[in-house]
Amino acid sequence: MHGFAYRNGTLHCEDVDLEGLANEYGTPLYVYSANTFRDHYRRLDQALEGVDHEVAYAVKANSNLSVLRLLANEGAGFDIVSGGELFRVIKAGGDPKKCTFAGVGKTRGEIEYALKHGIYSFNVESEEELRYLNDVAADLGLIAPAAVRVNPNVDAKTHKYISTGKSENKFGVDFERIADLYDRAATELPHVQLRGLQMHIGSQLTSVKPFVEAVEKVAPLATVLKEKHGIEFWSIGGGIGIVYQDALGAGSIDWWDSQAEQDRPLTLAGYGREVVPRLRNLGLKILLEPGRAIAGNAGVLLTRCLYEKQGSAKTFKIVDAGMNDLIRPALYEGHHEIVPVKEPGSERKVVDVVGPICESGDFFCQDRELPEFGPGECIALMSAGAYGFVMASNYNTRPLPAEILVDGSTVSVVRKRQTLDDLIAAEL
């Protein structure tokens, strides 16, 4: 469910006409639905009823301060992967004591910063990192709370770039080695407090089966670590997928009701029904670390068609957004539904939608049948709320787009469009 739908012939975000936003603020333009963020957070929180839990939003998905502030006001914790993300959470009014710090390459400066702010836990990716964490904490005269990330060797059956739970991935410690590592750490690392256990098997999972497989495999280990080392929490990671293929339609309850049971995408409630019974009797606090599931369908990228180029083999729709604004299609062929902002008629055409970047990989779709739109018309790239702006760059010396947050009928500019002077301000 999300806040984007056609009303009176134009695409709206909640109560606001997106054509008007594009005209007023220019394109490319990111637009977010505040109520979609709230709704997805609350649905996840509700899905975990029955166990002591916390929903810790993965900041890397969308780190705009206004988004973080909105979620902090909902009571969210935060999953961070850098000192910079912790800085953002603090600036947004989030509580460092509700932050877990993941990532395979934490620096001394980042560790010191997080320790001084009293974060809840470091999610440690290797024995070497755990020992380094102990050394840094010892130098500061502090105790570092930690959870080791277990790699359960479960195939999430997702894109290889976002699979994290198999033995060949760079993340975590092999399942068979975790118990021994906790035993050694308990006796050899006096400046580490083993507070929990962590896992995360991948992103954009559209079936509950890999989640269930991982939980069932790791639950006995979590029980042993609780009994032997007194751990208090188990982070089961994130990774719940969203609807990309028919994203606009999925904003309606009627769309979900129309899906055959065997074809219906994984819902937040469905996820909870399967995993909560397997967690209920563990006596551990459960952390869930969603990013895309909260943010993905809460945002769109608006872009305007510049030209239509008729080639001998293809028809190209050239738009003013590029791979620097939204890199997912170029990076791992991520699908984004593309819809005209003005409600289209029945005419459709097979086209490539491409941007102005000087790269052949600068495309948003290839050989896709789309509703017809022409030069000057605005289109929306759906499902752009996660891994959109956060991965944007200044490649080809292109200023970063503005970001807008819509809350009902209220429009807020939550990031000003970057100017060319802004772009070179730090250069000498």
356: which 2 tokens?
Answer: 């102005």
Instruction: Look at domain 4-30+297-424 and name its CATH class.
Output: mainly beta
Is residue 128 annotated as involved in ligand binding? no
Q: Which residues contact 362 (CB under 8 A, 6 or more apart)?
A: 322, 323, 330, 354, 355, 356
Query: At 163, is the secondary structure helix, strand, or coil?
Result: strand
Active site residues: 358
* pLDDT at residue number 161: 43
Q: How far apart are CA 303 and CA 321, in angstroms?
A: 6
Neighbours of 424 (CB within 10 A): 11
Whether 332 has a binding-site annotation, put simply, is yes
pTM over 0.85: yes
CATH 3.20.20.10 domain range(s) in the chain: 34-293
Structure tokens at 364: 């948003």
Residue 167: its pLDDT value, please? 47
Please answer whether residues 107 and 81 qualify as being in contact, where contact means their C-beta atoms are separated by less than 8 angstroms.
Answer: no
Name the pairing type of β-strands 348-354 and 363-371: antiparallel
Q: Is 112 annotated as a binding residue?
A: no
> Cα–Cα distance between 27 and 222 in angstroms, integer?
49
Tokens standing for residue 134: 């102990």
AA identity, residue 306? L
| 387 is an annotated ligand-binding site residue | yes
What parts of the chain have a pLDDT lower than 50?
158-167
Cβ-contact 104, 130 below 8 angstroms: no
- Judged on CB neighbours under 10 Å (0-12, 13-18, 19+), 206 is middle
* Neighbouring-strand partners of residue 410: 407
Residue 321's nearest CA partner among 269, 380, 372, 267 is 380
Q: Is 239 annotated as a binding residue?
A: yes
328 belongs to an annotated ligand binding site? yes
pLDDT at 169: 52
For CATH 2.40.37.10, list the domain ranges present in the chain: 4-30+297-424
The pLDDT value recorded for residue 203 is 85
pLDDT at 257: 86
Q: What is the DSSP letter of 250?
A: G
| 299 labeled binding residue | no
Tell me the per-residue pLDDT of 359-416, one tens digit each, with 9 for 90 and over: 999 999 999 999 999 999 999 999 999 999 999 999 999 999 999 999 999 999 999 9
Task: Flag whether 415 is marked binding.
Answer: no
Contact 268, 45 (CB under 8 A): no
CATH code, 34-293: 3.20.20.10
Does the annotation place 220 within a ligand binding site?
Answer: no
130-148: b (≥16 Cβ within 10 Å) or e: bebbbebbeeeeeebbbbb
pLDDT at position 328: 96
Could you give the angle at which helices 178-188 and 127-140 cross, rounded to 10 degrees?
A: 20
